[in-house]
Structure 1
Amino acid sequence: MLIYLVTLIGFLGTLLIIPYFKSLLVESNIVRKNYKGDLIPVSIGIVFLPMLIVNSSIVRYFYKDNQIYIYLFGIIAMAFIGIIDDLIGNRDVSGLKGHFKSLFKGRLTTGGFKALFGGFVALFISVSISNSIIDIIINTLLIALFTNLINLLDLRPGRAIKGYILISLIILFSVSLYYQKILIMLLFSNVLAYFKEDLKAKAMMGDAGSNVLGISLGIIVAGNFLFITRVIILILLIIVHIITEKYSLTKIIENNKILNYIDMLGR
């Protein structure tokens, strides 16, 4: 019953507050040109947070499990650095490789700061949920790479959210504990409420949103999957990141009929 309650509250609550946040961002001139060249509100991913906190309070009342604090810490921390990158981000450097090259040359980009900060956040969470050094290493990488994965997808309307929804559903049906299913729905319902705005290019969730989506997936996977499963997922994430450092993800999707159909669906 609780999972339906938080899903309903998250969806309807987020749907209700989206217009207010859009107006706030436009009035504050927090806008950016999308891939079509249209000026739209950016960093609207912050709209995921209010109902997430409300629903987390409800869940904490019924479940005295401190894992929710770790979950919230990761999400709020990455939303914070995401907002910074959205507002003052360096757009002349791209990719993890590019940001770390700049860092080694003595220039800190917002992307480099985000990578370092996100890595430290992932490390803290991993230390909190892991039982061994090898677990800490694997979970840190999982959380960090999941966070960046959704960021990589967030280049066209709806693409990142489609990826998030697919992975979330796989996780939802893979975890056995009811509590973990509730944790997934805390954010999932908020994202569904916002989905149309992103799909129709009426707003950009920015790093403030993609960071939140990515780290939420990473935390759930790191804390609930068997060792061998996590290793396999980590290898897949590393392969994806290596490929996207060398080739354009957008071009890969556009050149594949199935991926391109899914990518264009609903736009």
Structure 2
Amino acid sequence: MRDGLLLLTAAAGTSVLWHRLRTGVVPGGRARWARTNHAGDEVTLLEGVALVAGATGTAVLAGPVAGLGAARTTAMLVTGVGAGWVGAVDDLRQDTDRKGLAGHLGALARGHVTTGSLKILVLAGTGLVGAALVDHAAASGRGRTRGALGTLVGGAVVAGAANLANLFDLRPGRALKVGLLSATPLVATGPGAPGAAVVAGTAAALLPDDLAGRSMLGDTGANPLGALVGLAVVDRWQGRGRLLALALITGLTLASEKVSFTAVIESTPGLRELDALGRPRR
């Protein structure tokens, strides 16, 4: 019951914030947040700002009375704002000379900090802090501690999920659908449900305009979307569950360096129809 109310609160609050961002004054002016999507249409990246503000704002304002608690609320704030901030840096001041995870890691190894390598460092740091906070909350509730290795794996899951969500943000609605499909099973029962409810409500509020091609998440929104889903996964599972999640995220990330997710989705019956569901026909 509480998770359902939290989901509805997140959806309502995000809708109000999104309306204000679409109609009011925005930092740097609207032109700074405008981009051209794959179809050649102009879209706004302010959707990502709405996602960060809606999710973290709901966690801070409604979380304590909806079962999140102080530690989990702080974990969502750290991972959501951290991933959103570094995503905005990448969106607004993007290095265009290096692409892909390997390129940014190679630049970092040579001592050159690109916006992409900065994103890797920030996502890793905030993911680890988020995992440590939810582990602390779980340990306090059960009267025992969790191992440091499990927390390290949890941090990697959060950071990897943040990066993976960004890889799906290539067509209208795709990343938000992935976020919804990942968060919804966690909402029903168990640890991680309140955080997943916040993500699901926020994503649902933003999905119509994203599907219509009027806005997109960008790194500003896709990174925190993935990070918050990853945090809910970490809160739900430990041990083998976290290792399995990390293996899946790592496999998909490495695969993205070699194959196109869009090509795979569009050539696979079922996935193709799900991906296109809700988009206007051209």
TM over 0.5: yes
Amino acid paired to 1:82: G
Q: 1: CA distance between counterparts of 2:176 and 2:257?
A: 21
**Cα distance between partner residues in 1 of 2:8 and 2:43:** 28
CA distance in 2, matches of 1:242, 1:160: 18
Structure 1 counterpart of 2:50: 47
Alpha-carbon shift at residue 94 of structure 1 (Å): 2.0
**Structure 1 stretch 161-170 or stretch 90-99: which is displaced more?**
90-99
Question: 1:79 is matched by which residue type in structure 2?
Answer: G
Q: Does 1:218 align with 2:230?
A: yes
| Residues 109-128 of structure 1 deviation map (CA, whole Å, 9 limit, x = unaligned) | 21111011111112223344
The runs of 5 or more residues in structure 1 that have no matched partner are: none
- Contact persistence 1:127–1:136 (CA under 8 A): yes
Aligned position for 2:190:
176
Residue 155 (structure 2) aligned to one of 134, 140, 153: 140
- Which residue of structure 1 lines up, in the alignment, with residue 40 of structure 2? 37
Distance 1:122 1:16 in 2: 28
Q: CA RMSD in A?
A: 2.1
Q: What stretches of structure 1 move > 6 A for 4+ residues in a row?
A: none
Contact 1:43/1:83 (<8 A) preserved: no
Aligned-pair distance for 1:100? 1.3
Is 1:60 the counterpart of 2:64 in the alignment?
yes
2:87 is equivalent to residue 87 of structure 1: no
Give yes or no for the alignment of 1:154 onto 2:169.
Answer: yes
After superposition, the Cα gap between the structure-2 partners of 1:16 and 1:129, relative to the gap in structure 1 and judged at 3 Å, is closer
- Shifted more, 191-200 versus 38-47: the winner is 38-47
Which residue is equivalent to 2:8?
8
Task: Supply the distance in 1 between the matched residues of 2:8 and 2:130 (Cα, whole angstroms).
Answer: 28
Identity %: 26
Residues 182-232 of structure 1: CA distance to partner in whole angstroms, max 9, x if unpaired? 222223212111101111110111111111111111111112214112212
Report the AA paired with residue 12 of structure 1.
Answer: A
Check 1:38–1:56 CA distance in 2 against 1; reply closer, same or farther (3 A cut): same
Alignment CA distance shift 1:104-1:66 (3 Å): closer
Corresponding position of 1:22: 22
Task: Give the whole-Å Cα distance in 2 for the aligned partners of 1:39 and 1:124.
Answer: 36
* Deviation, structure 1 residue 162: 0.9
The question of whether the paired residues in 1 share the 8 Å contact of 2:11 and 2:204 is answered with yes
Contact preservation (8 Å) 1:43, 1:207: no
Instruction: Report the alpha carbon displacement of residue 49 of structure 1 after superposing the two structures with TM.
Output: 3.6
Change (3 A) 1:234 1:62: closer
- TM-score, normalisation: structure 1: 0.90
1:124–1:5 Cα change, 3 Å:
closer
